[in-house]
């Protein structure tokens, strides 16, 4: 009888242990996922850097919008460089322009992987 | 065929077209009202995320990690001004099975998607949940040394402040806590660690805002909700 009780207890303990959540495995899986996220983030940063370095002039349609918004002559808008910056949440690209309103800095945002230079002057 | 009969035919044809277009919109509206199906794979991942948080909340302990704030002053009714230290930048972490997890806010939208246990979830409309980000383990001496590299968490309003930190050294038994700033690695600052019961009992902690709302906000944002899940897809590697 004692053996039977012991075996029942053993079975109960093994069931409890087998149904326990495996936090060690979760720790590993989440680390792997975050490594993937980091790789993806690094790839994104490379794309932003490549775009930033390739910029040599401002798109004409962008110039037209900027001139219209600020009521200035479109011909006064000149490309003054593009630089990569390091922020709290990763790297980002800033484009500089010089025009009748002075020197402006513009953020570059990526919407669905398509770059867009914002025409707000900072 | 005279002019009148042509007119009648034309009117009849026009009315048929408008009835048809109306019926088309009606059908479209009906179609819109139907609940969109969420794929089984997406539902499985949602269940897995939610079961994971369920297990962490059930088997783990919820702690607050706080840094010392600047001296704050309070004007009392007698008109005197007294300075007292207050604690700010409260952010949560879970200690479970000697492992530390921080709720990392994860937004899924667009082409990139996010991984979950090796699979990738992509959603057309924004879906968010908190990932249990593993930050460190407790060593044999009972000390957990970890870097807080992940900037998101369940309550994103403290995101920026959290990023000021670089390294932590915490003893969960003695409640000793030391931290360095991200931009000032040389100086070490004291920090504080407490579980929810301790923080309520210890009146020297002057917490920002309403503690209860704060906890509710954190816990609500851990789980993956059903909203916009119909726009999601799961891809296996």
Of B37-41, B128-132, B193-197, where does mean pLDDT reach its minimum?
A: B193-197
Q: Which residues pair with residue B73 across a beta bridge? A: B83
Choose among A31, A88, A112: nearest Cβ to B134. Answer: A31
Instruction: Tell me which chain A residues have a C-beta less than 8 angstroms from the C-beta of B129.
Output: none
A44 touches chain B (CB under 8 A): yes
H or E element, residue B216: helix B211-220
pLDDT in the model for residue B162: 47
pLDDT in the model for residue B103: 87
From the list B127, B81, B124, B131, the residue with the least C-alpha distance to B231 is: B124
User: Which residue of B lies nearest to A111 if distances are taken between CA atoms?
Assistant: B110
A43 touches chain B (CB under 8 A): no
Q: Which residue has the higher pLDDT, B48 or B191?
A: B48
Q: Is residue A76 part of a domain?
A: yes
pLDDT in the model for residue B68: 62
Residue A25 C-alpha from the chain's centroid:
28
Q: Is residue A45 part of a domain?
A: yes
Overall average pLDDT of the B44-73 stretch: 82
Q: What percent of chain A has pLDDT over 90?
A: 57
Give the span between the Cα atoms of B76 and A98, in whole angstroms: 54
Q: pLDDT tens digits for B123-156?
A: 999 998 999 989 899 999 999 998 775 444 444 4
Of A93-97, B13-17, B197-201, where does mean pLDDT reach its minimum?
A: B13-17
Please, what is the end-to-end C-alpha distance for chain B in angstroms? 69
Distance from CA of B162 to the nearest CA of A (A): 11
pLDDT in the model for residue A104: 95
Choose among A24, A89, A112: nearest Cβ to B111. Answer: A112
User: Which residue of A lies nearest to B60 if distances are taken between CA atoms?
Assistant: A23
Contact B56, B94 (CB under 8 A): yes
Q: Tell me the backbone φ, ψ of residue B166, rounded to 5 degrees.
A: -120, -60
State if pTM tops 0.80.
no
Give the span between the Cα atoms of A92 and A86, in whole angstroms: 6
Contacts of residue A70, defined as CB under 8 A and 6 or more positions apart, other chains included, come to A99, A100, A101, A121
Q: Is residue A36 part of a domain?
A: yes
Domain count across chain A? 1
Give the span between the Cα atoms of B10 and B1, in whole angstroms: 13
B40 touches chain A (CB under 8 A): no
Q: What percent of chain B has pLDDT over 90?
A: 27
Residue A74: pLDDT over 80: yes
Residue A73: pLDDT over 50: yes
Of A15-19, B97-101, B217-221, where does mean pLDDT reach its minimum?
A: A15-19
Q: Is residue A11 part of a domain?
A: no
Residue B85: pLDDT over 50: no
Overall average pLDDT of the B172-199 stretch: 78
pLDDT in the model for residue B117: 93
Contact B192, B175 (CB under 8 A): yes
pLDDT in the model for residue B204: 47
Residue A100: pLDDT over 70: yes
pLDDT-derived band of residue A44, with 50, 70 and 90 as boundaries? confident
What would the two tokens of residue B61 be? 């302990």
Asked if B163's CB is within 8 angstroms of A112's CB, the reply is no
Range of the domain at A64: 21-117
Residue B198: pLDDT over 80: no
Residue A108: pLDDT over 80: yes
Residues 62-121 in A contacting B (C-alpha not used; CB under 8 Å): 88-89, 112-113
Instruction: Tell me which chain B residues have a C-beta less than 8 angstroms from the C-beta of A26.
Output: 52, 132, 134
Q: Is residue A6 part of a domain?
A: no
Overall average pLDDT of the B104-129 stretch: 89
pLDDT in the model for residue B109: 83
**Residue B85 DSSP SS3:** strand
pLDDT in the model for residue A64: 95
> Alpha-carbon torsion A24, B223, A32, B119, what sign?
positive
Of A48-52, B65-69, B161-165, B231-235, where does mean pLDDT reach its minimum?
A: B161-165
Q: Which residue has the higher pLDDT, B211 or A93?
A: A93
Overall average pLDDT of the A37-53 stretch: 88
Look at strands B188-195 and A114-117 and give their pairing: unpaired
Residue A15: pLDDT over 70: no
Overall average pLDDT of the A10-38 stretch: 77
A17, A19, A29, A30: best mutation site toward chain B, by most B Cβ within 10 Å?
Answer: A30
Overall average pLDDT of the B174-197 stretch: 79
Give the span between the Cα atoms of B169 and B180, in whole angstroms: 9
Contacts of residue B157, defined as CB under 8 A and 6 or more positions apart, other chains included, come to none
Q: Is residue A28 part of a domain?
A: yes
**Residue A34 DSSP SS3:** helix
Residue A38 C-alpha from the chain's centroid:
10
Choose among A36, A40, A89: nearest Cβ to B151. Answer: A89
A3 touches chain B (CB under 8 A): no
Distance from CA of B55 to the nearest CA of A (A): 7
Distance from CA of A59 to the nearest CA of B (A): 25
Asked if B59's CB is within 8 angstroms of A34's CB, the reply is no
**Residue B232 DSSP SS3:** strand
Q: Is residue A7 part of a domain?
A: no
Distance from CA of B38 to the nearest CA of A (A): 23
Q: Is residue A105 part of a domain?
A: yes
Give the span between the Cα atoms of B189 and B150, in whole angstroms: 20
Choose among B112, B133, B163: nearest Cβ to A30. Answer: B133
Asked if A113's CB is within 8 angstroms of B134's CB, the reply is no
Contacts of residue A35, defined as CB under 8 A and 6 or more positions apart, other chains included, come to none
What would the two tokens of residue B192 be? 């504080």
The structure tokens 């980002």 sit at A92
B101 touches chain A (CB under 8 A): yes
Q: How far apart, in Å, are the Cα atoms of B28 and each of B36, B125, B230? A: 14, 21, 18
pLDDT in the model for residue B161: 45
């Amino acid at each position: 009888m004692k053996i039977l009780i012991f075996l029942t207890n053993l079975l109960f303990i093994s069931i409890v242990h087998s149904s326990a959540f495996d936090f060690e495995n979760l720790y590993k899986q989440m680390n792997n996922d975050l490594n993937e996220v980091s790789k993806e983030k690094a790839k994104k940063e490379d794309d932003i850097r490549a775009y930033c370095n390739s910029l040599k002039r401002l798109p004409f349609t962008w110039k037209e919008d900027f001139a219209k918004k600020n009521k200035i002559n479109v011909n006064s808008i000149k490309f003054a460089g593009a630089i990569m910056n390091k922020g709290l949440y990763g790297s980002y690209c800033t484009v500089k322009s010089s025009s009748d309103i002075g020197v402006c800095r513009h953020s570059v945002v990526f919407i669905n992987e398509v770059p867009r230079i914002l025409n707000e002057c900072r | 065929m005279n002019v009148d009969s042509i007119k009648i035919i034309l009117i009849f044809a026009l009315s048929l077209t408008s009835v048809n277009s109306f019926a088309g919109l009606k059908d479209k509206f009906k179609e819109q009202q139907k609940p969109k199906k969420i794929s089984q794979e997406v539902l499985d991942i949602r269940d897995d995320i939610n079961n994971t948080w369920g297990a962490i909340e059930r088997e783990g302990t919820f702690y607050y990690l706080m840094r010392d704030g600047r001296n704050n002053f309070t004007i009392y009714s007698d008109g005197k001004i007294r300075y007292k230290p207050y604690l700010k930048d409260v952010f949560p972490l879970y200690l479970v099975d000697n492992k530390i997890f921080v709720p990392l806010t994860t937004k899924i939208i667009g082409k990139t998607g996010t991984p979950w246990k090796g699979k990738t979830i992509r959603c057309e409309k924004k879906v968010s949940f908190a990932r249990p980000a593993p930050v460190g383990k407790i060593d044999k001496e009972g000390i957990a040394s970890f870097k807080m590299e992940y900037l998101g968490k369940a309550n994103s309003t403290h995101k920026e402040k959290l990023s000021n930190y670089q390294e932590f050294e915490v003893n969960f038994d003695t409640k000793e806590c030391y931290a360095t700033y991200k931009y000032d690695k040389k100086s070490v600052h004291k920090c504080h660690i407490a579980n929810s019961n301790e923080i309520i009992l210890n009146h020297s902690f002057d917490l920002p805002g309403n503690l209860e709302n704060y906890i509710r906000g954190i816990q609500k944002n851990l789980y993956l909700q059903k909203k916009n899940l119909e726009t999601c897809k799961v891809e296996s590697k």
